[in-house]
A and B are shown apart, each in its own frame.
Chain A
Amino acid sequence: MIPPKFDYHRPTSVQEAVQLLQSSPEAKVLAGGHSLIPLMKLRLAAPAAVIDIGRIPDLRGIQALDSGELRIGACTTHHEIATSQAVQRAAPLLAEAAAQIGDRQVRYRGTIGGNLAHADPASDLPAVVVALNATLQAEGPQGSRSIPAAEFFVDLMTTTLQPGEILTQIRVPALGQGTGSCYLKFEHPASGYALCGAAAIVSLNPDGSCAQARLCFNGVSARPVDAAAVAQALVGSDLSDGAIDAAVEDHLRVPDPVGDIHASASYRQELAKALGKRALKAARDRARG
């Protein structure tokens, strides 16, 4: 399969990339190419121009600030994130999810920014950045702006990025002491995409009760699902297996669940319950150390 013809641009700075995107609104941005190139080969995408941002130095790398916050360039690969000690320390949930994307070869080329901007609901990172309360930085003709991860995903393959804007950086606050996390997925056996992926974070009070919790899902709806009611029900509980099971059973609601030839909507909801419970229990056990 051969992609349709396109004009190729390789800017050397974010400013140049933004200018190019403005002058050719039909262009697509290419990072690692592991979402865009397959789409172009299948002729599901036929951009008139491709703007290759893969070599802009500012867009690559992981920086850990003194506050613990991670600043991850949009063109940082899944492999770099999965194997980064800084990420494993500050936000192990992100490293754990990145390590489960695709396969080894895909992780060497695929990037966090490309993954998030592509906004495939069956992908592994959307629910993870929502659970981590990450902030996404975008650069456009009007300058840069910060977008909370929870507001970034609008619909199937649709984000709040405006025409002319490029995702440049992902800012991830560090998880505090006494916090555990877990990403679990039930994957489609051929594609590896998530039929359901559960991202859980649990923080403990000194007495062992639950101080804070997060539970978010990939794959079950057109956009990441934040099961805030489950998390709320867990706060103050003893985080026993029974408390976690009850919180999920009583409070998990998946808005607009998706069904397709691979899994029906009701099956995906059952997966969400099962994986949500397991991920919360694993996060609790890790928080207890």
Chain B
Amino acid sequence: MGVPIQLEVNGQTVRQEVEPRLLLVHFLRDVLGLTGTKIGCDTSQCGACTVLMDGHAVKSCTVLAVQADGSSITTIEGLAQDGKYHPVQEAFWEAHGLQCGYCTPGMILSVVDLLESHPSPSEAEIREGLEGNLCRCTGYHNIVRAVQIAAEAMGK
């Protein structure tokens, strides 16, 4: 039995009938084709599937699509505006805050959320704020640098 949902994804209104058990991450990837959102651990730990739901970072592998009914979702595809990267995307580029890149979309969306509540975070606040996002390549050093660069750029 399908349940009708309506939500905004990267500024576009989407109406769809979905199976109640469909996870938000599968809705984004398989129904809408937005494959920038990754599936990593699939057990609510690694944060690769992080998207913004009404401005807050959430793990889309642990949200049902029906729970997202009426909400506004931002995925990595929706961050750049008018062909210009978001300052957090620029900063990850600048500081080389990645290696394989698999965790990067979720990492970047978590940073966008973190900088919303902590516009100039300390290093400890950055590391704690990103505890829900795992990177198995870089060791986090350049990721922390990227957040610092982004915070500075956005504070100007």
Contacts and interface: CB of A to CB of B under 8 A. Distances in A.
B132 interface: yes
Given A102-B132, A104-B113, A104-B129, A37 B64 contact: yes
21 contacts: A2-B23, A2-B26, A5-B19, A8-B20, A8-B64, A37-B62, A37-B63, A38-B43, A41-B23, A52-B66, A52-B67, A54-B67, A104-B113, A104-B131, A104-B132, A105-B50, A106-B44, A108-B56, A108-B57, A108-B58, A191-B45
A109 B58 contact: yes
Interface of B: 1, 3, 19-21, 23, 26, 42-45, 47, 50, 53, 56-59, 61-64, 66-67, 110, 113-114, 129-132
Contact of B3 (A8, A41, A105, A192): A8
A1 interface: yes
Contacts of B129: 104
B138 to A, nearest CB: 19
Contacts of B131: 103-104, 192
A271 to B, nearest CB: 21
Nearest to B51: A105
Contact of B67 (A3, A6, A33): A33
Interface of A: 1-8, 10, 30, 33-34, 37-38, 40-42, 50, 52, 54, 79, 102-106, 108-109, 190-192
Nearest to A5: B21
A6 B20 contact: yes
B59 A105 contact: yes
Nearest to B66: A8
A105 B20 CA distance: 22
Contacts of A34: 44, 62
A35 to B, nearest CB: 10
A104 B110 contact: yes
A105 B21 contact: no
